[in-house]
Structure 1
Amino acid sequence: MSESPRPAQTPPARDAHGEQVSEMFNGIAERYDLMNLVMTWGQEPRFVRRTVERAQLPDAPTVLDLATGTGDIALEILRQRYGAHIIGADFAPEMMEVGRRRPGGEQISWVEADAMDLPFEEGVFDAVTHGYLLRNVTDIPTTLAEQFRVLKPGGWMVALETSPAPDNVIKPFSTAYIKWVVPRLANLITRNAEAYEYLSATTRGFKTPAEIHGLLDDAGFVNIGHETHLFGTMAIHWAQKPVTTTG
């Protein structure tokens, strides 16, 4: 790549849902990392490390981290690939402001952007990563199509997402935890139970790993896979843009 990807300078337009979600995340920005740690029983850092490992990054990659929030995945990329050029993109600027203040935050390019209309040229990123993005967009196919577009041929998309509890003996307990316990913990930690009631509802109503697989296949990705954690309630998805495409 001859030059770094350059985003548009104007803030992205948002629909009503996007505006609502942006305001919600801005409102919990200062306590978001702590709440994620509690919600995942302390496993969030391990999931983030595994997500970056699945991206199969070259030595000095150019990476787009969507829904970057406070930069957990972006900063882990820096830890694993010190020479990486990383753009962290989100539509919640106050979340990114927390990320800027974290150690290493000055090495990331922070961009306010809409995941359904990315301000980047085609084929400029070695990898696209994101955490908890897909459950918060109104159009998953468009979101995946944009990621496919900006990836270099052979590049990887890797996503950390929640998953509906699978039908097994654990389901009643994991569902109760997500539906009832998480919002109450959130109220104690963030004083914003409504935000986590929303996140709880979107988790329970989100796509299964098999459905995400189908959406990635429809978008043109190959070598699609996933692994689950926390009794099936968390999943890491990966998929590759073909090295060659037919027109």
Structure 2
Amino acid sequence: MGRVSTSQPAPHGASSEDHASRVSSMFDGIAGRYDLMNLVMTWGQEPRLVRRTVRRAELSGTPAVLDLATGTGDIAFEILRSHEGAQVTGADFSPEMMAVGKDRPGGDKIAWVEADAMDLPFADESFDAVSHGYLLRNVADIPTTLAEQFRVLKPGGRMVALETSPPPKNIIRPFSTLYIKHVVPRLSHLITKNPEAYEYLSSTTRGFRTPSQVQGLLEEAGFVGVGHELHLFGTLAIHWATKPA
């Protein structure tokens, strides 16, 4: 899964657009190894978590689905696999990530769009569901991002997301923090030869909102039926919410 727009404040003296370009370039540079790195980072649990995220969308019929931060298309392809006839649009700001996805079997069944998650190029009430993986920690303005998702959803439409979470304060926290802060960047160096992207990921994960805070932001955006479930000792969360009918 890729990134749409950027999350962290721009470095001193740099515009948010410059920062977005820098982060996009980082992910473009590791596009060919990104799926392997995600598998390693989640201890092999990524496919299971993607399937569970899609199930939380509660899709039926032949839905129109927008998959934001689609990257190489993991969630988009799972939607197609589990819901034959779904009309899936994958959007990301990393063209190299999407190029990898386009070359995967079935890539021609997805509409790939380069887009900014905070200014989506889609009409109001265009989609039955919106999905995304690892997006919210990578946008400059979460409320604006959620407002855009709310806008493009049809009444009664669902939002589902797979997102990292700061290690919760429990007996596992010292080990999960050690893994995210030190092990992940070193693994990325071995696998991608570009540890900068995963040092960025490590810092954004540790500094991101808690699942309860994300739930509050979804409610403030107007969503109802908001909920989440935790995985991997609380370091990953699946979120879901519904636009009122």
**Matching residue's letter, 2:190:** L
Which of these residues, 79, 88, 91, is aligned with residue 89 of structure 1? Answer: 91
Give the Å deviation of 1:18: 1.6
**Partner-residue secondary structure (3-state), 2:105:** coil
Which of these residues, 208, 211, 224, is aligned with residue 206 of structure 1? Answer: 208
Aligned to 1:54: 56
**Partner-residue secondary structure (3-state), 1:88:** strand
Which of these residues, 29, 32, 35, is aligned with residue 33 of structure 1? Answer: 35
**Matching residue's letter, 2:210:** T
The normalised TM-score by structure 2 is: 0.93
Give the Å deviation of 1:80: 0.6
Contact preservation (8 Å) 1:21, 1:136 = no
Aligned to 1:11: none
Which of these residues, 64, 67, 71, is aligned with residue 66 of structure 2? Answer: 64
Note the alpha carbon deviations across 1:174-203, whole angstroms, 9 max, x for none: 000000000000000000111100000000
Task: Tell me the distance in 2 between the aligned counterparts of 1:225 and 1:67.
Answer: 21
Task: Tell me the distance in 1 between the aligned counterparts of 2:217 and 2:21.
Answer: 25
**Matching residue's letter, 1:51:** T
Give the Å deviation of 1:79: 0.5
Alignment of 1:130 onto 2:108 = no
Aligned to 1:197: 199
**Matching residue's letter, 1:79:** R
Paired residues in the alignment total 230
Aligned to 1:155: 157
The normalised TM-score by structure 1 is: 0.92
Task: Tell me the distance in 2 between the aligned counterparts of 1:36 and 1:142.
Answer: 27
Contact preservation (8 Å) 1:18, 1:137 = no
Give the Å deviation of 1:157: 0.4
Which of these residues, 75, 78, 81, is aligned with residue 79 of structure 1? Answer: 81
RMSD: 0.7
Listed as ranges, the gaps of 5+ residues in structure 1 are 1-13
Give the Å deviation of 1:16: 2.1
**Matching residue's letter, 1:93:** P
Task: Tell me the distance in 2 between the aligned counterparts of 1:82 and 1:23.
Answer: 34
Contact preservation (8 Å) 1:66, 1:128 = yes
**Partner-residue secondary structure (3-state), 1:174:** helix
Task: Tell me the distance in 1 between the aligned counterparts of 2:63 and 2:37.
Answer: 30
**Matching residue's letter, 1:121:** A
Give the Å deviation of 1:17: 2.4
Task: Tell me the distance in 1 between the aligned counterparts of 2:209 and 2:198.
Answer: 18
Task: Tell me the distance in 1 between the aligned counterparts of 2:67 and 2:20.
Answer: 18
Alignment of 1:169 onto 2:171 = yes
Note the alpha carbon deviations across 1:135-183, whole angstroms, 9 max, x for none: 1100000000000000000000000000000000000000000000000
Percentage of identical aligned residues: 73
Task: Tell me the distance in 1 between the aligned counterparts of 2:58 and 2:19.
Answer: 33
Give the Å deviation of 1:89: 0.2
Which of these residues, 143, 146, 150, is aligned with residue 145 of structure 2? Answer: 143
Give the Å deviation of 1:21: 1.6
